[in-house]
Structure formats: structure tokens, C-alpha cells
Amino acid sequence: MILRRVVKIPAGKLLKLTADVEGGILKSVAIRGDFFAHPEEGFDRAEASLSGIPAAGFRTSLTAALVREGVELFGLSAEAAADVFEEMLRDLPSA
């Protein structure tokens, strides 16, 4: 199921989050908005590494991937992105 959210996060930046979740597994995720990530290539690798993880592990996996890739976020925190992702998960129908 494709889940989407467009929200203003507490820092006032726009976050566009799209995720494909099937059977509790994150198939793909796109984290976009008017924030910055440095290095951008590291952010892209971190984002791509989330495919295939259990959706319930998004918060921990995103944080670990950003650290592993040496990514610094400006205008967005991993916690804010995870909060929005977890809100989206609550929209999934119960099995």
C-alpha cells in the first residue's frame, strides 16, 4: 500500500514522505522536502538502504543509515521524519 504525507514539521520545513509498505515490510521510501542533506549522495544511499526493512524499524534504521553514511540534515531531523512515518503506519488497515 502506498502511503503519502505532506506536512510542515516543527522546524517549519515542508516534508513530503512517500512509502510503499506491504505485509509490514518497507518496499520503498522517498523522503523529500525543503530541507538539506549533506552529502546528498550519502542521503540517497541511506534512503535506498531502507528498502526491505520491517516498517516498525524505520526510526532506528533511518538513524543508523544516516550515521553510517555520515549525513548531516539541515531543517529536518531523523526523529521528525520517523514521527511522520509512524503516523502513516497508523493509516494501514488492520489485517
Tell whether 95 is covered by a domain. no
Grid coordinates given for 79: 526523529
When divided into structural domains, the chain yields a total of: 1
32 part of a folded domain? yes
- Residue 79: per-residue pLDDT: 95
Grid coordinates belonging to 35: 530541507
Residue 87 has pLDDT above 80, yes or no: yes
pLDDT at site 29: 97
pLDDT digits (tens, 9 = 90+) for 14-71: 999 999 999 999 999 999 999 999 999 999 999 999 999 999 999 999 999 999 999 9
Task: Name the residue with cell 521528525.
Answer: 80
Chain-centroid distance, C-alpha 2: 14
Per the CB < 8 A criterion, the answer to whether 73 and 30 are in contact is no
For residue 94, is it within any domain?
A: no
CATH number for the domain including 23?
3.30.390.50
Confidence band for 94, pLDDT divided at 50, 70 and 90 = low
The single residue listed with the C-alpha cell 510542515 is 8
Q: Is residue 17 part of a domain?
A: yes
Domain ranges, residue 41: 2-89
CA gyration radius, the chain: 12
Residue 70 lies in a domain: yes
